[in-house]
Amino acid sequence: MGTCCSELHHSSVDSSLKNLGETTISGEHDDPELGPPNFERVVLRIDGLKCGCCESGLSRIVERVPNIKNFQLNTVLARVELELDTNRLSVSKVIKMLETRTGYRFEEQMVSDGQVLEVIVTDPRRMQHAGRPDGVIRLKVPERAPWRPFAVLSGRTSTTLKETTTDDADGDCEIPKIRVPPTKIYYDATIIGARDVLRHYRQFDPDLRLAPMAADPGLDLGAKQTIRALKWFLLSLIFTIPVLVFAWTPVGRRSRGPPNSIYLPGLHTSLALATVVQIIALKEFFPGAMRSLYHSRVFEMDFLIAFSTTMAYSFSVASYIFQVRGKPLETGSFFETSTLLVTLILLGRAINEFARFRAAKSVSFRSLQVDEVTLIAHPEESNSWSNAPTTKIDTRLLQYGDFFTIPPHTMVATDGVVVYGGSNVDESMITGEFKPNAKGLDSEVFAGTNNGDRFLVARLTKLPHENSVQRIAALVEDAELTKPGAQALADQIAGWFVPVMASIGLTVFLIWLFVDKYHNKKDWRSAVLSAITYAIATLIVSCPCAIGLAVPMVVLIASGVAARYGIIFRDPQKLEIARNVTDVIFDKTGTITTGTLKVVNVPRYRHTDHAHTKGLLMGLLKDIKHPVSMGISSWLAQDRLVHKDFQPLEVTNIISVPGQGVQGTCAKTGVEIRAGNAEWLDINVMGPETNTMCYYTYGGDLRASFELMDHPRPGAEMVIQKLLARGVKVHMLSGDTAGAVTSIANRLYIPEGNTKACCKPEGKINYVRDLQTPGKVVMFVGDGTNDSVALKQAHVGVHLNQGSDIAKSAADVVLMTTRLHDILILLDISFAAYRRILLNFSWSALYNVAVILLAAGALVKVGDQIRIKPQWAGLGELVSVLPVVLIAFQMRWRDYGKNYRMIEAEYQKVEAPRRERRIRTRGSFSADGTGCCEIPTTRLAQVDAFTRRNDRSRLRKFLLGSAS
């Protein structure tokens, strides 16, 4: 009931192609005139959704819409996402069908592949004749819909507009009707910028302006529905209070006459007021219940509410008639029962709508997107970033090539790269990192993060519609639409709940009818009235919506809480599975170790022309992102700055072989060159390799070898110890040599039998498969390099994100940082979510059993007042659903990272002296190659930037400044 519109649904629609999970309409897909199917992703918002237990009926209705491939329904977020064949059915027609069959209003939530600009124009039609500059893809211009005299009664006014599309494509391009929509301009931001688009169209309409920034669609709809529910409750309350006054106070009694006589004018007034309240109830509950019954053959909770309130009102009217005729019933006036019942139900729905809205708002990421940004007006004309002229603009008008400022203590507008200044930036809202991160030249900054006390200037890298905030929000929302396994049980229970309750209500009526007639010796009229009060209370007080909310509300909160710690569940089913993990497999390089390999010994060359060897190696490895390649490239760049004895040479046909190495061709001589492991290069190694080794061959001849060392990530040992303490077995795989793997395993106390060296990608997947025996749940943790197949194969694949596109990750879970203790937080959140799901199910079962017994009068023999009377049964929705929401919401109040911050603290104690030594070492190749200067940690990013660009002059000036 009520705002427990909560069930997640992910369904493959039944069809003749069941194995493909597609819905087809006979003959349509084979129509050559319509062309091949063109399935597009469509997201619809549902306005007016009042009850979570209506999910089953809604699902059946959506299933019966033709040309839909599959769909996902979330009644908590009031959203349905589907794949529609737009060649055969337009979105507007789908919306019309759904609105007709459900009684709810549907509105398309635009999902743009590119950038869209919404503007308000004086004459929308004029824009159609303004032409489209290069880069503008299409326009969607609103036009006024035909006037309808009864629009006010239907909730739509004559100002309602519809949109038509002007583009190169044919076909029906209408979108759902909305109130006064702006004109939408779709454009390719890589060709034309937002400000250029506005400049073009303002030539034809000088008054053209940006439309107000739209709120988060889900939150905006939730706020509207909360206000709507509150209005209906207040309206009902206004009419109910006088009825209660007449029924419960002396105002309703005659001043003279028999003690129990009723003041007839008050009775007439109560009839009128109760009739208004009943009309409100029927408008709220009856249409949707009957549509669901007619179209999907499902009895929803709204049907029981409408039936029960109508029955209570009908018998109130019957009591009124007997009272007016001078033959009052022993139950007396009945109007307070029907009016109070409806009012309390509406109160429960209003409170539950607010609770659902607050739950969704608490996990919303889109609120991190700022509305305005300070833009550097003319960067090419400025001699200094600090004195450059600036202007404030709407963030939607940003375009590629822009430079924007980040003043102290402000939020970063969008993703960018720092070009001026240095500061500490709080990224906890994105990554969960509790310590600010130092940002300097060429450091990345992300939308939604908070700048510290220094001024920054950044070059834009991502527009607002594609930045970190939007990508994370999209991933979280997509995950919230997915249906966890435990939800199937809730669906089955909720699907049978209403028919079972109808049967129980009928049984209660019949039992009390015969008890009062034959045991209590009442006449038939009194027995019927008494039995009806028990039946009404039983039907109203029960609530399947608490069951429907038990899983999705927890998934909604848990997903949002995890995201606040930088843990993105792309598949919420893994939130349910993770608590059962028995084995965790770590990839070594870049996952359990830092992945920053350093050349630890002077390379051994087997050729006199060292410069030629180093030049070819730099040309071969410069664009390869593997940790070994990056380690050697970094060493070569530093060596070149110090000795200046070689230049990068051109290498062609470069191919990276996963798990083996890199090969290419010397452009000058045409000789094949390779860099990789000994096995791939067929090199006989003398003695054990205790560190990572990389060999270089020229035409098959060994020319050089490099020894590199990696270090475990901060706190890796403590994380592994905590996993072992939980009874979880820890494994480590690597394509590195056996000596390097054994060295790291020994330092982290990983059993040698749980490690595997020289492991190729296919070896990793085979290792995972071997562990996946019955009763075991395997988690694979990797950095996305050469292990995407293993991430997919594992029961739970976890990707340590290091700047790659998280949307393209093959993992089920993405960690936005490289902190290994986030894995422990992940497991803790999974356990906490599972416990709350169990608690919600237990509460739902206990509540329904208890209140059904009380409402049915099972305890009246103990005491006449130990029962739930019909007028108070309306509180059932509030009492049942609110605890479920609060139980889930408790996850927001717990600090899951508190227990693991000690890992960072302990690491800092050990690592700080070592870091300072490394800083001094890195400064030794500075101004003259002999001196040593201390470089603050916050400025190391600038040293790295100069080194990568081989900018010796700026590096020398920078280091001389640090030394002085």
DSSP E strands in 667-747: the ranges are: 672-676, 692-698, 701-709, 729-733
The catalytic residue among 587, 710, 783, 812 is: 587
Distance CA 230, CA 227 (A): 5
Phi, psi of 140 (to 5 degrees): -120, 105
Write down the H helix ranges in 625-713.
627-643, 678-681
Contact present, 706 and 634 (Cβ < 8 Å): no
Q: Residues 6 or more apart from 478 whose CB is under 8 A from it? A: 570
Least Cα distance to 442 among 463, 423, 459 occurs for 459
Contact present, 52 and 224 (Cβ < 8 Å): no
Rounded to the nearest angstrom, the gap between the alpha carbon of residue 267 and the centroid of all alpha carbons in its chain is 54
Rounded to the nearest angstrom, the gap between the alpha carbon of residue 256 and the centroid of all alpha carbons in its chain is 67
Contact present, 236 and 280 (Cβ < 8 Å): yes
Place of tokens 């070492």: 921
CA angle 206, 212, 218 (to 5 degrees): 150
Instruction: Copy the structure tokens of residue 766.
Output: 């085979």
Contact present, 169 and 139 (Cβ < 8 Å): no
DSSP state of 579: G
Cα radius of gyration (the chain): 35
404: part of which helix (H) or strand (E)? strand 403-406
CA angle 218, 483, 491 (to 5 degrees): 105
Distance CA 445, CA 439 (A): 8
Distance CA 538, CA 536 (A): 5
Q: 209-210 and 136-144 as β-strands: parallel, antiparallel, unpaired?
A: unpaired
Contact present, 755 and 732 (Cβ < 8 Å): yes
Name all contacts of 831-834 with Cβ < 8 Å and 24+ positions apart: 831/579, 832/558, 832/891, 832/894, 832/896, 833/554, 833/555, 833/558, 833/575, 833/576, 833/891, 834/576, 834/579
Place of tokens 């690491």: 907
Burial class from Cβ neighbours inside 10 Å (0-12, 13-18, 19+) for residue 26 reads exposed
Distance CA 646, CA 704 (A): 16
Place of tokens 């640090």: 962
| CA distance between the termini of the chain | 72
Contact present, 113 and 474 (Cβ < 8 Å): no
Q: Is 172 a catalytic residue?
A: no
Write down the H helix ranges in 856-938.
876-889, 901-923
Helix (H, G, I), strand (E, B) or coil at 129: coil
Per-residue H/E/C for 421-478 = CCEEEECHHHHCCCCCEEECCCCEECCCCEECCCCEEEEECCCHHHCHHHHHHHHHHH
Distance CA 889, CA 840 (A): 12
Instruction: Copy the structure tokens of residue 952.
Output: 């010796």
Phi, psi of 58 (to 5 degrees): -60, -40
278: part of which helix (H) or strand (E)? helix 264-296
**Catalytic residue positions, numbered:** 587
